[in-house]
Amino acid sequence: MGDTLKDAHRAMWASGDYPSLASEIIPELGEVLAEAAGVTAGTRVLDVAAGSGNAAIAAALAGADVVASDLTPELLQAGRDDAARRGAKLEWKEADAEALPFGDGEFDTVLSCVGIMFAPYHQASAGELVRVCRSGGTIGLINWTPEGFIGQMFGVMKPYAPPPPEGAQPPPLWGRPEHVEALLGDRVTGVEFEKRTVRVERFGKPEEFRDYFKSRYGPTIAVYRRIAGDPEKVAALDAALADLARDQDVGTSGLVLEWEYLLATARKR
């Protein structure tokens, strides 16, 4: 990833308040991933594209020796603060998922919880996941599926977003088993996939969901900034995001959403 693109990604994820979104909406995902990957006391763990440490802190609280890496310093600082509040001890390292500053086979377990999917060049970041994992070690991933709510949300935003860099792939592809299998290739064995959902009951109505993401979620903020000078486009996106939540509502009182994700685990050969 070129420096300009890296800077843009840092700025996007530093905007809004992703740490509060992660802790308020999907706090359980990190624990789900750490457990699925078999993280135990003494395991040497790397969380890639860790954000504010959803999975990294869960792994540290399980007794693992953890490094949380992310491109965005502001997210790492929020993670440090959260870890201190929760009594979790781990290392925080600024790092690009497509060029990790760690040695070959340095970790027993390599995790990423709805993080690595946002690195634009999927094969590069997948190669790094495998490289830094030891032979026989575990790779564990949670990614939003294309068909699930967040994948659909990216589809709604796409017409208003800037064109992706040449060669970049859409984040929700990481939620397709065949895509993950192709990325990891024959360097891993025992690949297992499971589609699950996280139940979101944080919002009273569709407009609350939309406004929350408009103010806190970097990718949504970036899209709205791009169309800020066009009131018609802003109104259209406002309506489309609220409609998505309305259409996906499975509740009978208040807004209830089921966000689908792909849980993937594999062992390095």
Residue 21 above 70 pLDDT? yes
Domain-embedded: residue 229? no
Cα distance between residue 25 and residue 144, in whole Å: 14
Domain-embedded: residue 206? no
SS3 string, 50-69, reads CCCCHHHHHHHHCCCEEEEE
Domain-embedded: residue 39? yes
Give the count of alpha carbons within 13 A of 182, CB side only: 9
Q: What is the pLDDT of residues 94-110, one digit of tens each?
A: 999 999 999 999 999 99
What is the tally of helices (H) and strands (E) in the chain? 11, 7
Report the share of the chain in percent with pLDDT over 70. 99
Domain-embedded: residue 98? yes
Give 258's pLDDT tier (boundaries 50, 70, 90): very high
| Parent domain of 180 | 3-200+258-268
Domain-embedded: residue 187? yes
Domain-embedded: residue 115? yes
Residue 2 above 70 pLDDT? no
Task: Please give the mean pLDDT across all residues of the chain.
Answer: 97
pLDDT recorded at residue 228: 98
Domain-embedded: residue 100? yes
Give 67's pLDDT tier (boundaries 50, 70, 90): very high
Residue 180: give its domain's CATH number: 3.40.50.150
* Closest-CA residue to 237 (of 249, 225, 248, 247): 225
Mean of the pLDDT values across residues 40-57?
98
Handedness of CA 179, 223, 96, 89 (dihedral sign): negative
pLDDT recorded at residue 253: 85
Number of domains into which the chain is organized: 1
Domain-embedded: residue 248? no
Cα distance between residue 105 and residue 75, in whole Å: 26
